[in-house]
Structure 1
Amino acid sequence: MSENDLAQNDGQRFDRLPATPADREVEGRASREEVVDWWQDRFAVPPETFEDVTFWEKGSGKIWAFSADLPSPVRVEGLGITLLRTRQEHWKPTTTGVKRFGRDATENVIDLEPGEAAAFATGHDQQLDRWDGDWGYLIAAHELAGEREPIGVGLYLHGELRSRVPKGYQEDLAVLE
């Protein structure tokens, strides 16, 4: 593989994210530092949460997290979990990423009542005027066995929480009142 091939984004391989923006060789590619900082800035997820995680890009802006180290690039179909979508105006966490790392979030998490959580998990949008935090992508969570459990990603705009739970993740939650 030539240097020129490695300096371009390729949707058929995983490339490890550069450590810092200064190490970037592919224009537009996020760095490890930027990904960790984004999770900390948006959701207050401590940087040490990602200490043993490597980050990879496959395709244009699809960031994956992997709990091991491999040489880069790697030509495989999947590597770890999808974490984040970049290369768009607003970065978007994935449902899988939120379910895995959202337990450590302390900001921009909306705690849903049982009926709200059930509606959200099945993909329904709902009016929720009580949120007084940032607009944009939030972690929707509910209480399960006395702990906060992330359900998925919501988009909060103009008093409405829009469920961004993909069809394959939608589920019926038992509502216990």
Structure 2
Amino acid sequence: MADGNDGQRFDRLPATDAERTVDGRATREAVVDYFADRFGIPPETFDDYTFWEKGAGKIWIYRGEAPTALEIEAIGMTCLRTRQEHWKPTTDVVQRFGDHATECVIDLDREQARRFAAGEDQTLEWWDGDWGYLIAAHEIAGESEALGVGLYVHGELRSMVPKGRQRDLEP
């Protein structure tokens, strides 16, 4: 296998392990399975999307087709970081597809959601689901809306909302 990651080029993810040509590159199958297994997002949710890697482990999602390899700045939106022990979904992908999730969604009340959006970590001992990356959500106008990615460990929910997107909302 080659080590063909190029930080200046987008390469389409191979469909399966058998089609992989770059060591360590995620596959489309693995990405779709991750969202299904971790968050309960149905695999068919991603039928119209292609997945791309730029650099090592920065996965992007794009609705549609494009030729591979692309030397452009961006295609679609960032989706997932895969070259670490635990894959990390991005705020963008969680806000876009989080309404399809049925697992690892932590529903926050108004004050908890306000603190989460502001980037604050908070003790939430009541969560009895999985540890790790979760989708933080809050009910708005009768619908659960994904706020972003949280990391839950040892009874604490850590907001992963990027600094530039954190907001101070009225209490």
TM-score by length of structure 2 reads 0.97
- For structure 1, which runs of at least 5 residues remain unmatched after alignment? none
User: Residue in 2 aligned with 1:100?
Assistant: 96
After superposition, what is the alpha-carbon deviation per residue over 1:73-100, rounded to whole angstroms, capped at 9, x for unaligned?
A: 0010011000000011000000011011
Contact 1:15/1:56 (<8 A) preserved: yes
Deviation digits for residues 87-119 of structure 1, max 9, x if unmatched? Answer: 110000000110111110000000000000000
Where does structure 1 differ by over 6 angstroms across 4 or more consecutive aligned residues?
none
Cα distance in 2 for residues equivalent to 1:58 and 1:103: 27
Question: In the alignment, what sits opposite 1:68?
Answer: 64
* Aligned-pair CA distance for 1:173: 3.3
Name the % identity.
65
How well do the aligned residues superpose, as a CA RMSD in angstroms? Answer: 1.0
What secondary structure, in the 3-state scheme, does the structure 1 residue paired with 2:44 have? Answer: helix
Q: Per the alignment, in what secondary structure is the counterpart of residue 164 of structure 2?
A: helix
Q: What SS does structure 2 have at the residue aligned with 1:41?
A: helix
Unaligned ranges ≥5, structure 2: none
- 1:172 deviates by 2.8
Size of the alignment, in residue pairs? 170
> What letter is aligned with 1:133?
G
Deviation at 1:174, TM superposition (A): 4.1
Alignment check: 8 A CA contact 1:98 1:152 kept = yes
Question: Which residue number corresponds to residue 28 of structure 2?
Answer: 32
